[in-house]
Structure 1
Amino acid sequence: MPDMPETNTGADASGKIPVTVLTGYLGAGKTTLLNRILSEPHGKKFAVIVNEFGEVGIDNDLVVGADEEVFEMNNGCVCCTVRGDLIRIIDGLMKRKGGFDGIIVETTGLADPAPVAQTFFMDQDVQERTRLDAVVTVVDAKWLTQRLKDAPEAHNQIAFADVLILNKTDLVTPEELAGVEAQVRAINPYARLHRTQNAKVAIDDVLGRNAFDLDRIMELEPDFLEEGHHAHHDSDIQSVAVTVDGDVDPDKFLPWLNDYAQREGANLLRSKGILAFRGEPKRFVFQGVHMMLDGDLQRDWRPDEKRTSKIVMIGRDLDREAIEKAFRACAV
């Protein structure tokens, strides 16, 4: 895996198309959420890639058949049925006239979202033209407890999420809902969580989230920067958050991060961070999926903003003490 770039104009300034990966176990409400996105009068144009073969309902008036490669819809969206390489599909979309405001990839309910997410890290052409905006996971409040017992994919889908849609809340009691939310939070304490019925959620809460930006974690976890706020875990998936006050040395941090992702990539589901690099006025932000890493220099550190470096890693059997020691060794 090549090293991450140390300089870049930033995802927003580069004009890359944001990609939202929509995942969730069978019956959780992914297609309902997708239909809501496509039927909203947002005035934007989205390409939709459905990671399933066969007929997939998009709304009441349109079904994309298996014989269709790309189908232009009346509301300006485009739908694809993925029958080959996701990279090939995206390459074809990039050649279409008119362009898109975003791409939405709906995975099959039995899928681990990792291979789909990795596509936007590993192919140079795709990486140059698109950026992974967020992984959005729809969770079935009614059946989650059972799914966590019999479906490892459900664990992975929650752990990968940048945004969690806790759906079908009307089908459980308040006590049951609190218990389900606690289970979800044990796996992933940092994703933005929305309780919904019929996947009814504001579009801005799903699209344009910028998964790079850990400022959203600060909204959720005000004590994130406090000493000792490091890890949440359940039986096998845990999250580790480490903060260093001040700058880190990029010549130490980037090789360590790449090496760690290579060694522990099978267990490392998601990683992300905001770094203050020595002598650099801009924030370096990165995110990763297993062994695949991507990073950019983004906006300047604001005058009223404390230069702080922080990372979050979510995975299985993570050695919190080793991660913390190695990261702190990168401090200037």
Structure 2
Amino acid sequence: MSTTKVPVTILTGFLGAGKTTLLNRILSEQHGKRIAVIENEYGEIGIDQGLVIDADEEIFEMSNGCICCTVRGDLIRILGNLFKRRDKFDYVLVETTGLADPGPVAQTFFMDDDVHEQFALDGIVTLVDAKHVEQQLDHTRESAEQIAFADVLILNKTDLVEPARLDELERRVRGMNALAHIHRASHGEVDLDRVVGLSAFDLDQALSRKPSFLEPEYPFEWSGVYALEAGHYRLMLDDGPDPAMSLVAVTLPSADETALRAGAERCVRLYAEEPVRTQPGEPVEPATHVELELTEPGTKVFPLTIDTPGLVGLYTEHFAEEFNLRLTDAEGRLLQPVAEHAWVAQHEHDDTVTSVGIEVAGDVDANRLNRWLSTLLAERGIDIFRMKGFISIAGEAERFVFQGVHMLFDGRPDRAWGDLPRGNQLVFIGRNLDRAALEAGFRACLA
């Protein structure tokens, strides 16, 4: 097996910039390159893989999380599995969710020893929606971060913008990132050589733009280290801000900074696994991602059994004081941690931006659908950053694929349903979305 590192391109851009369109063009061209694709979706239901054309390339999907914080372990796991089939591909393309800060994604290729040994970050390519980017820059932090961190900027949808305004936009973008190469495109028509094989990422430049670049992001906020003898313990939590809290308990060789960070990297991978939902009274399993159910009022107690004496680190999604988290021995004596650490995320997403996923069986009346979408976009289009999905239209043999950005909407017939069960999947991403109204509106379109 070749010892040459596998080049990786990170493809980013705000919601609706055209990443999937570009990806489809790359996968459909006869360029002779073998590309493995990793997708990350922001949404309740995963549909992006279904929007990507059928291709020989291998496509992996990570759903329901931000690739820059909660599923970094998933990215590490998939890259590890990919490398076992090194002879099957030449490049890896990581398409991030439109709400991701690309910095922590790039960071994975330097912070994880196995990934760093096997893969090389080739470059960060950011698609910019020329039609809507100025509005996005005025209201979201992520769009600015994506532009500032790019090695290559592709101004997409140039056919929707007047030339003079496009020149002004390019000057604004150049002011945010003077080092990136800028290319113009419409409908994602970009030469593959501008996306892969760039040898463009420069760690020193990344550190100059963001000195904290090599400070890792973690999906937890607090860890406490306890010196425990073998025996039975009780983890106790009071009412807090959330109805559940994720936690991982791992053994540590010491309580110093190095050991805490090594434990954190181990927990990143464990947090990427599906959590074991644990009710009060049920035991917390060590070295397992557990989700403590905290809906019952009052104090919740979870047993913890330690088989071997030593140091145990609790890595929790929230700060301990938010739930008055404490650990007692079998006799009820309160135990104090011998060390504590706060893991503060460098970025936070806008809590008003959410996703609404709708999955409904049955066929849709096309006229009702058109009327509903027209009214919805006219009234709420400014708050709908992105919408996408598949529709089963009554009397049509092909599924209908649609995508939208703010007031712009595009739909077309796609592959035939064939033997697949007909149905509808829609995702809306935006600010202050009304789930009940969206679902009721769509259900009213059913034939």
Which category of TM-score, normalised to the shorter sequence, fits these structures?
0.5 to 0.7
AA paired with 1:80? F
Query: Does the 8 A contact of 1:169 with 1:177 survive in 2?
Result: yes
1:195 Cα offset (Å): 0.5
1:199 Cα offset (Å): 1.3
Q: Does the residue aligned with 1:92 lie in a helix, a strand or coil?
A: helix
1:109 Cα offset (Å): 0.5
Query: Does the 8 A contact of 1:19 with 1:130 survive in 2?
Result: yes
AA paired with 1:78? E
Runs (4+) of structure 1 exceeding 6 A deviation are none
Q: Does the residue aligned with 1:22 lie in a helix, a strand or coil?
A: strand
Pick from 18, 41, 62: which aligns with 1:82?
Answer: 62
2:137 maps to: 148
Query: Does the 8 A contact of 1:44 with 1:76 survive in 2?
Result: no
Pick from 190, 194, 203: which aligns with 2:183?
Answer: 194
Distance across 2 between alignment mates of 1:136 and 1:33: 11
Equivalent residues in 2 for 1:206-285 (5 A)? 206-212=195-201, 269=209
Cα gap change, 1:58 to 1:209, in 2 (>3 Å): farther
Q: Show CA shifts across 1:230-267 (max 9, x none).
A: xxxxxxxxxxxxxxxxxxxxxxxxxxx8xx99xxx7xx
Query: Does the 8 A contact of 1:20 with 1:135 survive in 2?
Result: yes
Distance across 2 between alignment mates of 1:164 and 1:209: 13
2:213 maps to: 290
2:237 maps to: none
2:156 maps to: 167
1:60 Cα offset (Å): 6.5
Pick from 9, 27, 47: which aligns with 1:55?
Answer: 47
Cα gap change, 1:102 to 1:201, in 2 (>3 Å): same
1:31 Cα offset (Å): 0.7
1:128 Cα offset (Å): 0.5
AA paired with 1:211? A
Distance across 2 between alignment mates of 1:97 and 1:208: 17
TM (normalized to structure 1)? 0.56
1:237 maps to: none
AA paired with 2:61? T
Gaps of 5+ in 2: 64-70, 217-447
Q: Does the residue aligned with 2:17 lie in a helix, a strand or coil?
A: coil
Distance across 2 between alignment mates of 1:97 and 1:201: 26
Q: Does the residue aligned with 2:88 lie in a helix, a strand or coil?
A: coil
Distance across 1 between alignment mates of 2:59 and 2:170: 33
Q: Show CA shifts across 1:180-213 (max 9, x none).
A: 1011001001111101111111111111000147
Distance across 1 between alignment mates of 2:32 and 2:128: 28
1:104 maps to: 93
1:42 Cα offset (Å): 1.2
1:99 Cα offset (Å): 3.1
Q: Does the residue aligned with 1:98 lie in a helix, a strand or coil?
A: helix
Pick from 5, 9, 16: which aligns with 2:5?
Answer: 16
Cα gap change, 1:120 to 1:61, in 2 (>3 Å): closer
1:115 Cα offset (Å): 1.8
Query: Does the 8 A contact of 1:82 with 1:89 survive in 2?
Result: no
AA paired with 1:22? L
Q: Show CA shifts across 1:76-124 (max 9, x none).
A: 3100012551100111111126332010000000111122111111111
Distance across 2 between alignment mates of 1:158 and 1:192: 11
2:83 maps to: 94
1:61 Cα offset (Å): 4.6
AA paired with 1:131? A
Q: Does the residue aligned with 2:128 lie in a helix, a strand or coil?
A: strand
Distance across 2 between alignment mates of 1:133 and 1:38: 18
Query: Does the 8 A contact of 2:24 with 2:52 survive in 1?
Result: no
AA paired with 1:76? D
Distance across 2 between alignment mates of 1:190 and 1:151: 22
Query: Does the 8 A contact of 1:159 with 1:270 survive in 2?
Result: no
Q: Show CA shifts across 1:147-191 (max 9, x none).
A: 110011011000110010001111111111011101100100111
Query: Does the 8 A contact of 1:34 with 1:58 survive in 2?
Result: no
Query: Does the 8 A contact of 1:31 with 1:58 survive in 2?
Result: no
Q: Show CA shifts across 1:251-298 (max 9, x none).
A: xxxxxx8xx99xxx7xx5458xxxxxxxxxxxxxxxxx81269xxxxx
AA paired with 1:147? Q
Aligned-residue CA RMSD in angstroms? Answer: 2.7
Query: Does the 8 A contact of 1:168 with 1:197 survive in 2?
Result: yes
